[in-house]
Structure 1
Amino acid sequence: MKATPAQQESRSAPTSSASYDLVIRNGTIVDGLGGEPYIGDVAVADGVIAALGTAEGDAAREIDATGLLVTPGFVDLHTHYDGQAIWSDRLTPSSAHGVTTVVMGNCGVGFAPCRTADHEVLVDVMAGVEDIPGVVMTDGLPWSWETFPEYMNALEAGKRDIDVAAYLPHSPLRVYVMGQRGADREPATTEDLAKMRALAKEAVEVGALGFASSRLAFHKTESGSQIPSYDAGREEISEIAKGVVDGGGGLIQFVPDVPAGDYEPVLQTVFDVAGEVGLPVTFTLAVGNAGDPIWPGALDMVDRANAAGGEITAQLFPRPIGLIIGLELTGNPFVLYPSYRELAHLPLAERVAEMRKPEVRARILADKPGDGHPLLWMAQAWEWIFPLGEEPNYEPDRSSSILARARARGVSPMEEAYDRVLDDDGHAMLLVALSNFENNSLDTVGELIGRDGIVLGLGDGGAHYGMICDASFPTFMLAYWARDRATGRHPVADVVRELTSVPTRVAGLGDRGRIAIGYKADLNVIDHAALRLHKPVIAHDLPAGGRRLDQTADGYVATIVSGEVIATNGTPTDARPGKLVRGRR
């Protein structure tokens, strides 16, 4: 039975005689290393864990965790809060799901370094790759920096709920050094390479965790071009990597073009460069839904590289990598159709009324799609599109797909999709399971979770505001993989390890991710039995009134960053202890 807030927590005024700032009493401690959970206290002083087991003495604040899990704070290695960390003091959805540290600058995109003349170039990149409306960035960012060190200073000056760390992103670096030549993906000259190496060294010296790049063909600018890093050759990757080494070392984050099937040569190049200079690599791995699987080949490459002394990890998302589509969002099955676009500007209620007219329905269903972002074409992958209910199902049965429902009704998939987007007066949402849903199940993903060479990530918080809401994956891990799934369940201790000490090891953040004396007091108190994901909602809280997908959960009794409680029972406090993490530790 869930405890009331009064039962969970007691406070007393801080006194000079208080032994601790915070004590979490009688919880089931899950240490983050995979150890057997045990009952005990966790005491915090000066932002670090000061005592474990039985905490004698009083505290300025106490939480009764009887019957509750106490875990380290979770870490997401793949986010895009580069902008949100500037304009907002809360990094939701991530911080609503027990995440206390996020790493941004992924996919080689971001906002620094950047000259004033190139602001529009980076806005174009981020709008296309990460679905952040241009007006949100132009209104929400002060652009008070030019260099990467100045951007880091801007991050450090802000207040926020959780900690942030950053990579040096490849595309801004390339444009900063090469100008329009970099945006046009021209080969870098010897002089260009020397400048990139020097700037990479500078970035690591001021706290970058490494550098990030992408070769994914889907990563296009809003104007339709490939991103600046797309054609970068081996020598360019090598010189930037050498700059990271010059600055003290770090991690290479890379997105290969796995969907194209020709990822191996480029990925092997990155592995070879990393081996030559002695840097670790983490890269995005996806499991295809159908066809010949390509993930075994990628993991064979990881195993060979690691057997030869490398440090390579494949980042895996623990449920389908999916789009959320609907009439209120960036994508829907008809968004590329000229006949729908004639209505797209209308307020939702008026648009729904028009779409319910038989003649409008007939015109849209008879239309043909025009040009658009590659991801928007996935909004017609009928076999992998499913209605998303109030309790979102991320492993839906094949029979509930748009294709199966259409066959059962004796209509076309387009007709079925048309009717479904009009459900709930146009507020309905559909899940497009882009990948990780091999054979219409998560069995393969479940087998890969916890495997050597695999690390969880890819929450993508801070990006894809109108298309993706995946930052809730830690809640899904604990609720589904550690509790609800009928087969292939993972022990709670293992799941917590995969959300904490494993990503911190990969990122080089050795001061957190475990419950042990002397470690950073980033913690969660969780009612595991009550843990529940809510359906994503649309919030209009971005700069310039921009809209984004958000998602909350039940079951988080308290989330704590550096010993300060940032949320209780899903309600944020006024505490903003989040810091910029400068460098590996």
Structure 2
Amino acid sequence: MDLIIKGGEIVDGTGAPKFRGDVGVKDGKIVAVGKVEGTAKCTVDAEGAVVTPGFVDIHTHYDGQVSWDAMLAPSSINGVTSTAMGNCGVGFAPARADKHDFLIRLLEGVEDIPGTALHEGLTWDWESFPDYLDAISRRAYAIDIGAHVPHAPLRTYVMGDRGGDHTATPTADEIERMRQLTYEALQAGALGFSTTRTMFHRTKDGQNVGTLTASEDELLGITRALDQAGRGVIQLISDAYLTNDDEFAARELSLIRSLAAQTGRKLSFTVQQNDDAPDRWRQIFQEIVGMRAAGLDVSAQVAPRPIGAILSFSTSMTPYIACPTYIKLSATLRGESLVAELNKPEVKAQILSEHARVVNLTGNAGAITKGYMRMFRMNDPVDYEPSAESSLQAEADRLGRNVDDYVYDTFLEDDGQRLIYLPFNNYSYGNLDDVYGMMTGPHALYGISDGGAHCGFICDASFPTTTIGLWSKGSKSGYQIPLEALVHGYTQRNARHVGWHDRGAIKVGQLADLNVIDLGKLSLSPPEIVRDLPAGGTRLLQTAKGYRQTIKSGVVTFEDGKWTGETPGKLVRGEQFA
């Protein structure tokens, strides 16, 4: 054999009880499971470790990064061996040459990917979506990649400038053209169709994405392509989960039902907990149960921890985003130069004076600027279930310090690189109890990691590590999920959802995508601020401890968290069968 993994606790991805055994690999496939005899070119000692399938992340945004990066971190360094990108209706294909700048501003705004990096790194050796897939297929990666057809570039490709205006209605001919292009993309190997309907997605210029209020006629017209092709899934994000408007939520859920009913295809959409409607997710889950009872394959994509911003003077988000002095300084200075200015007493006094006048900011903006009870230091290992007693507000109270002054000084620690964690979704009641409810829902998919996106203030591509490491041991409230169920959620269940039946389980005939994990050591360090994007762009990169080996198609790609330089990964076109 090419590879034998010996003596591990095998959690095979199907949800079945774990068992002790070996795994034999030949020509990139699993050829034996159990007691494996014989010799191999490489033997991995898995004694004391858990052996799982490689994780399948169905919600990422590597659409630009695939142009310049073969490693595709941070997903790849968190046990992921297959990933789907092009989510939330944004991406870079199809793309006419005169719309390159528009699409860059779109992704810069929606997904916080530096425009300078995209201008430098994107190769643009494509126009149509099939061209884009061909461009990816000419490259090799550490992991496998599939891609959805994103609605926003599709709309702009067909409608021109009108496509970027959510109040513009496409003609019947334009809807038909979008359907045709989607069908062609599915035939070329697209995984499905994605769209966004959230007000939080805006371009770099602050404009709503053109798909925000796309009509039912437009969406049903485009997605007829999936029914025609007999393949593909639908992925979307809607504001249904964050609204306290019952009628709006009902309209959005009705649209989701219509899309699933017309196409007969699988559909998943984002569900989180928002402070404005902290129990809306329960109602949505009940609606999904009803859709399932009607024969519709609808699922909620959920997260294993709070969705949180990472605040710092070295990232793109701080409490001082509304202060003119800070805005001016951060626009022209970086790193040590910026911190040196921020350390000056007169600059500090001016910014705090401006900050004191910031009022009437609500929602996430209010939390970012003055939500001190929800701001926590990121220590090693990171605590993703922090208590109010460890907040910056509580620290300042214990020290008898003015909280505004104390928070500013805290941000200056570590030469301005002190990272502060601000959970703003999935943490309305200060614990993970509701996250447990979402993760154990009967029709939940583990997703929303956004790998490749939110480079400057969110770092959630480590979701698989949190899923396995935290929930197999239990939350602070005592909720625990069996390891077998967690692994199934991030492997076979996700793989089957997007039509990849050749991976996600440790079974003979499946791809040899595997993780060897020291479960007792599995943890996450705080993200690091690294400058490794094209044009010197910065991003947050979070490494994990506890992964002994990650194996892609029988090739060891990571050893103790370090990339071996191997690139057995490739483009995955559409459905795959064992």
Same fold (TM over 0.5): yes
* Aligned-residue offset at 1:369: 5.2
Matched AA of 2:492: S
Quick check: 1:98–1:556 contact (8 Å CA) kept in 2?
yes
Question: What residue number does 2:390 align with?
Answer: 400
1:121 Cα shift?
1.1
Aligned counterpart for 2:177 among listed residues 195, 198, 204: 195
SS state of the match for residue 153, structure 1?
A: helix
**Match status 1:463 vs 2:448:** no
Which amino acid is the alignment partner of residue 482 of structure 1?
S
Q: In structure 2, how many angstroms separate the alpha carbons of the residues matched to 1:94 and 1:104?
A: 12
Q: Which position in structure 2 is the counterpart of 1:275?
A: 261
Q: Which residue of 1 aligns with 2:219?
A: 237
Deviation at 1:240, TM superposition (A): 1.2
Tell me which amino acid in the other structure corresponds to 2:540. Answer: L
Is residue 242–residue 273 contact of structure 2 (8 Å, CA) maintained in 1?
Answer: no
Partner of 1:14: none
The aligned runs of 1:76-155 (5 Å cut-off) are: 76-155=57-136
Given candidates 448, 451, 455, the residue that maps to 2:438 is: 448
| 1:475–1:531 contact (8 Å) kept in structure 2 | yes
1:12 corresponds to: none
Structure 1: 5+ residue stretches without partners: 1-19
Among 408, 413, 416, which residue is 1:426 paired with?
Answer: 416
Distance 1:56 1:292, change over 3 A: closer
**How much has 1:340 moved relative to structure 2?**
1.2
SS of equivalent residue, structure 1 residue 578: coil
CA-to-aligned-CA distance 1:461-495 (integer Å, 9 cap, x gap): 10111111001111112221112535112221111
- 1:275–1:252 distance in 2 versus 1, CA, 3 Å: same
Kindly indicate whether residue 509 of structure 2 is the aligned counterpart of residue 518 of structure 1. Answer: yes
How many residues align structurally? 566
The match for 1:379 among 368, 375, 394 is: 368
Q: Which moved more, 1:334-343 or 1:367-376?
A: 367-376
Aligned twin of 2:530: 539
- 1: CA distance, partners of 2:409 / 2:277: 30
Aligned with residue 317 of structure 1, among 300, 303, 309: 303
Please, which of 165, 171, 174 is the counterpart of residue 146 of structure 2?
165
Counterparts of 1:294 and 1:415 in 2: how far apart (Å)? 37
Corresponding position of 1:6: none
Q: Tell me, in whole angstroms, the C-alpha distance in 2 between the residues paired with 1:297 and 1:208.
A: 32
Q: Is the 8 A contact 1:241 1:274 kept in 2?
A: no
In structure 2, the CA distance between the partners of 1:403 and 1:259, relative to structure 1 (3 Å rule), is farther
Name the counterpart of 2:287: 301
Please tell me whether residue 334 in structure 1 is matched to residue 324 in structure 2. Answer: no
Please report how far the alpha carbon of residue 194 of structure 1 lies from its aligned counterpart in structure 2 after TM superposition. 0.7
**Cα 1:152/1:373, change in 2 over 3 Å:** farther
1:390: how far off?
Answer: 2.6
2:270 is aligned, of 284, 296, 300, to: 284
The answer (yes or no) to whether the contact 1:354–1:360 under 8 Å persists in 2 is yes
**Which amino acid is 1:379 matched to?**
I
Distance 1:371 1:537 in 2: 33
Q: CA deviation at 1:273?
A: 2.2
> CA-to-partner distance for each residue in 1:42-65, whole Å, 9 max, x for gaps?
001111110111112211111111
Name the counterpart of 2:188. 206
Equivalent of residue 527 in structure 1, options 512, 518, 539: 518
Alpha-carbon offset, residue 291 of structure 1: 5.4
**Does structure 1 conserve the Cα–Cα contact (< 8 Å) formed by 2:472 and 2:486?**
yes
How far apart are 1:415 and its partner, in Å? 2.7
Supply the distance in 2 between the matched residues of 1:142 and 1:518 (Cα, whole angstroms): 36
Please say if residues 255 and 284 of structure 1, whose CA atoms lie closer than 8 Å, have aligned partners that are also in contact.
yes
Q: 1:414 aligns with which of 361, 384, 404?
A: 404
Partner of 2:233: 251
Q: Distance in 1 between matches of 2:137 and 2:334?
A: 40
Q: Deviations over 1:524-546 (max 9, x none)?
A: 01111121211100111111111
Over 3 Å counting, the alpha-carbon distance change for 1:495 and 1:502 in structure 2 is same
Distance 1:429 1:264 in 2: 39
| 1:143 Cα offset (Å) | 0.6
Corresponding residue of 1:502: 493
Write the distance in 2 (CA, Å) between the matches of 1:148 and 1:451: 35
| Aligned residue identity for 1:183 | G
CA distance in 1, matches of 2:131, 2:367: 39
State which drifts further: 418-427 or 361-370: 361-370
Equivalent pair of 1:466/1:547 in contact (CA under 8 Å): yes
Distance 1:83 1:147 in 2: 15
**What secondary structure is seen at the aligned counterpart in 2 of 1:179?**
helix
Quote the residue 2:46 is aligned against: 65
Identity %: 40
Q: TM-score with structure 2 length normalisation?
A: 0.95
| Cα pair 1:125 1:222 within 8 Å, conserved | yes
Is residue 336–residue 372 contact of structure 1 (8 Å, CA) maintained in 2?
A: no
Deviations 1:391-415 (A, max 9, x none): 2111001112233334444555433
Which secondary structure does the structure 1 equivalent of 2:195 belong to? strand
Pairs within 5 Å for 1:556-567:
556-567=547-558
Report the Cα distance in structure 1 between the residues aligned to 2:570 and 2:380, rounded to whole angstroms: 35
Asked whether the 8 Å contact 1:332–1:376 carries over to 2, the reply is: no
Distance 2:452 2:270 in 1: 18
Per-residue CA deviations over 1:498-527 (Å, capped at 9, x if unaligned) read 111111122121111111111111000111
Q: Which amino acid aligns with 1:32?
A: G
Paired residue secondary structure (1:468): coil
| Partner-residue secondary structure (3-state), 1:438 | coil
Displacement of 1:259: 2.4
User: 1 CA distance for matches of 2:232 and 2:511?
Assistant: 21
SS at match of 2:135: helix
Structure-1 residue corresponding to 2:350:
363
* AA in 1 matched with 2:341: E
Deviations, residues 548-570 of structure 1 (Å, cap 9, x unaligned) = 10011111111011111101111
Moved more, 174-183 or 247-256: 247-256
Normalised by the size of structure 1, how large is the TM-score?
Answer: 0.93
The structural deviation recorded for 1:249 is 1.9
Residues 427 and 292 (structure 1 numbering): CA distance in 2 closer, same or farther, change over 3 Å? closer
Q: Is the 8 A contact 1:314 1:453 kept in 2?
A: yes
Contact 2:469-2:522 within 8 A present in 1 as well: yes
Q: Read off the aligned partner of 2:69 and give its amino acid letter.
A: S
